[in-house]
Amino acid sequence: MNWAAVFGAAAIIPLLNASIRLAVPTGLAAVGESLCQRAGVLNLSLEGMMLSGAYAAFLATHYSGQPWLGVAAGVGGGMFIGMLMALFSVTLKTEQVINGIALVLLASGLTSFLHVRLFGVTAPERFDPMGKLEIPLLGAIPGVGSVVFDQSPLVYLAVVLIIGVWWTLHRTRFGLAVRAAGDRPGAADAAGISVDRVRAAAILASGAMAGLGGAVLVVGQLGLFAQNVTAGRGWVAIALVIFGRWSPLRVAAGAFLFGFTDALQLRIQSASGGIESDIPFEFFQALPYLVTIVVVVVATARARDDAQPESLGVPYIKGARSS
Amino acid sequence: MTNPRGDSMTKRRMVALLAAFVLLAASCGDDEAADETAPEPAPTTAAAAEEPAAEEPEPAAEEPAAEEPEPAAEEPAAEEPAAEEPEPAADKVSVAILLPCALNDLSWCQAAYEGVKQLESEGLIDLQVVDDAPFDAQGATRVMSGFAEEGVQLVIGHSFDYGAPIHEMAPDYPDVKFAWQGSCGGFCGVEGPNIADYFMPMHEPAYLSGILAGGITESGIIGANAGYDIPVCRATVEAFLLGAQEVRPDATRLDAFLGSWIDAALAKEATAAQAEQGADVFVACGNAGSFGMIQETRERGLSSFGYVYDESSLAPDNVVASMAWQIGETYRQMVLDIAADNYQPFYDVLMSAGGFEVQMNPDYSAGSVSAEAMELFETRLQEVIDGTFEVPFIASADG
């Protein structure tokens, strides 16, 4: 096999670029989910949020011709599912796992249905995806420059948001309220924090980020919508939250690792003889998951504290003794 | 509650279980997502499944919604039936088809949909369509047995995955004919007197497209992506390379399997990876695979081929040609055979019978097909249509 085609000097930068492209949609959703879970809500609707965001972004860009409007709509599309999730899980206090899965099914059915009803049996409309934004001077640095400073503007936005979530969670009053709502909602309540409001806000934030993740796929990469275009990234994102042990930065690192392994496996498959290769292709597909699982096991075994929010998945009912 | 510690233990165990589930769900990748497609249609499918039931007596009412957006497909219809309508009107074959994707997917399902609509417009069949049909065996069985109970004469499951449920249920409905897209020819264990497997002879147009690719490529490297390692996809990419090698004996191919029929973004990355390794002409086996591939070739100014349906609108400069499956021809034979009480176990409607076409894209400009390749293409095309040239169907590593 031609390893130089995968790891050669000329191949490394494209490999890192591809890793970032693969990591960003999932990473955005995963970091949003980590915030949501820190507030105590196990939001399994993530895939639905992404898909809804992807479709809203497609529609807005298609009808307005403005990719940034599409990005905004993507955020809105994710928050739409977030509103429903908050309504069921926070206001009505029904089982979070069921709500989440139901909303994924809703988003999948609704987007497919709308796509056929709106566009019929005509060619799916497409548009040019958003271009790259090279940051002046920095982008010209050989090597590093083109990886770090010559990306889609959505990548920079993602980085800012991810750091923003970390900052919010660990350095602000609201972040403290979120963590309290997730660990000891009763104590938070006694301290005058509205657990319901905090949780609803966290779900909406998670919806916004997942919706943006979906928008990145459609507006930033593909320029079209296809049925279930998010292809399971929301589920991967939920796994990444556990991987990152509920810390936004570790979750983001996990997303990058996953994207990197995926970019790598595609390159190894291509360079190693593809269908003529003796290694079954399923091995390559499993690679990102295997690597992630191994890292989770190692990280969990080494960790001393239990990072999981104590009231994760438990609806908070005021006055009822929960924990 | 009385034992907070025990309570939190239970919770923890539940979350651990859930984590395991999520990891599993994630690692199944879009199988899981495909399963989402399965239950997902709950709203859509329920509606679609109800529609025919409720409106069966007057299918006219069901159609308008689906039809209005595509007057184009409807028009040729309006002309032809004039000649054919008189006789079959009385004994139309009733057909129900399950399409596991969207009618406007510009690929797999759209090709099948337009195929059956053509037969309907010719007055050959009474048609019921379920789009976004359940992909899981249980859901598919529910929908298909509904049609079978109703007495539909031919139930078509347009996916490899419908083979198993059809195999299970077909004996219960001996008067109903079933068809699935297996491309197996009797080797997949799905069989019965009322079951037909229909073949997707994509290796033929792939070989011919490969000849064009051989005349385009400068690097001599072809990029290929496929959803899964299934016989049709193998045969497609193998034939494509063989075709290319007729023109460029030194041509090689880079392959990537995606493990998904729906992950367009991953396919786009696979194409990028192959382009970085030198590939300059691309072929895909899978809906989303072709979308992602075509978009990447558009961005890089490279060349690609459309999958199953005319996909040139996705990148008018970059799509050389599309391998367009004329599935209607396969369905037509089934319907005629049912009318004649002569249903076959296997339908392989090849290019010689109009089963597939290579539709050239006149706007293609990203590269140019060498004169030598073009000439060879024309020759082989004619030979394949005449049946004098047989494209090998290489479905496994051993050939």
> Hey, what CATH class is B203-324+357-386 in?
alpha beta
B365 CB within 8 Å of a chain A CB = no
Q: What is the pLDDT of residue B396?
A: 73
Across A32-41, B90-99, B291-300, B313-322, least confident range: B90-99
Q: What angle, 0 to 180 degrees and rounded to 10, lies between the N-to-C axes of helices A195-215 and A173-183?
A: 110
Kindly tell me if the per-residue pLDDT of B379 is higher than 80.
yes
Task: Band the pLDDT of B80: cuts 50, 70, 90.
Answer: very low
Kindly tell me if the per-residue pLDDT of B44 is higher than 70.
no
What are B314-360's pLDDT values in tens digits?
A: 999 999 999 999 999 999 999 999 999 999 999 999 999 999 999 99
State the Cα angle at B232 between B220 and B190, rounded to 5°: 170
- Give me the mean pLDDT over the B64-74 stretch: 41
Task: Band the pLDDT of B52: cuts 50, 70, 90.
Answer: very low
Q: Contacts for B301-304 with beta carbons within 8 Å, 24 or more apart?
A: B301/B366, B302/B275, B302/B366, B302/B367, B303/B213, B303/B216, B303/B364, B303/B366, B303/B367, B304/B271
Q: What is the pLDDT of residue B372?
A: 96
Q: What is the pLDDT of residue B81?
A: 42
Q: What is the pLDDT of residue B42?
A: 36
Segments of chain A with pLDDT less than 70: 1, 123-124, 304, 321-323
- List chain B residues with CB under 8 Å of A280: 229
Q: Which domains are delineated in chain A?
A: 4-120+152-302 (1.10.3470)
Q: What is the pLDDT of residue A138?
A: 76
The residues near A91 (Cβ < 8 Å, ≥ 6 apart) are A196, A200
Residue listed under structure tokens 């993530």: A46
Residue pair B95/B331 in contact (Cβ under 8 Å)? The answer is yes
Beta-sheet strands, E only, within chain A: 133-134, 150-151
What are B224-277's pLDDT values in tens digits?
A: 999 988 888 999 999 999 999 999 999 999 999 999 888 999 999 999 999 999
Residue pair B88/B56 in contact (Cβ under 8 Å)? The answer is no
Kindly tell me if the per-residue pLDDT of B50 is higher than 50.
no
Residue pair B314/B291 in contact (Cβ under 8 Å)? The answer is yes
Residue pair A203/A43 in contact (Cβ under 8 Å)? The answer is yes
Decide: helix, strand or coil at residue B5.
Answer: helix
**Cα–Cα distance between B78 and B121 in angstroms, integer?**
7
B69 CB within 8 Å of a chain A CB = yes
Locate all alpha helices (DSSP H) within chain B, ordered by sequence.
4-27, 30-37, 42-55, 63-67, 71-79, 81-84, 108-121, 137-150, 163-169, 203-216, 231-247, 264-276, 287-300, 327-339, 371-386
ipTM of the complex: 0.92
**Cα–Cα distance between A189 and A318 in angstroms, integer?**
8
Q: What is the pLDDT of residue B65?
A: 41
User: Which regions of chain B carry the CATH code 3.40.50.2300?
Assistant: 36-55+87-198, 203-324+357-386
What are A170-183's pLDDT values in tens digits?
A: 999 999 999 999 99
Residue pair A80/A215 in contact (Cβ under 8 Å)? The answer is no
- Give me the mean pLDDT over the B117-127 stretch: 95
Tokens of B278: 């030198």
* Residue B332 CA neighbour count, 13 Å, CB half: 16
Nearest to A289 among B26, B224, B268 (CB): B26
Which of A16, A224, A266, A306 should one mutate to test binding to chain B, selecting the residue with the greatest count of B CBs within 10 A?
A: A266
- Beta-ladder partners of B178: B155, B195
Residue of A nearest to B274 (CA): A270
Stated as kind and residue range, the H or E segment containing B320 is strand B319-325
Task: Band the pLDDT of B16: cuts 50, 70, 90.
Answer: low
Query: Measuring CA to CA, how many Å separate B219 from each of A179, B215, B275?
Result: 56, 11, 10
Number of A–B residue contacts, CB under 8 Å: 231
C-alpha A160 chain-centroid distance: 14
* Architecture of the domain delimited by B36-55+87-198: 3-Layer(aba) Sandwich (3.40)
Count of beta carbons in the 10 Å neighbourhood of residue A189 = 17
Count of beta carbons in the 10 Å neighbourhood of residue A114 = 14
Q: What is the pLDDT of residue B398?
A: 53
**Do you know the residue count of chain B?**
399
**Cα–Cα distance between B355 and B349 in angstroms, integer?**
5
Across A109-113, B79-83, B172-176, least confident range: B79-83
Surface of A (84-113) touching B: CB under 8 A: 97, 104-106, 108-110, 112-113
Q: What is the pLDDT of residue B86?
A: 44
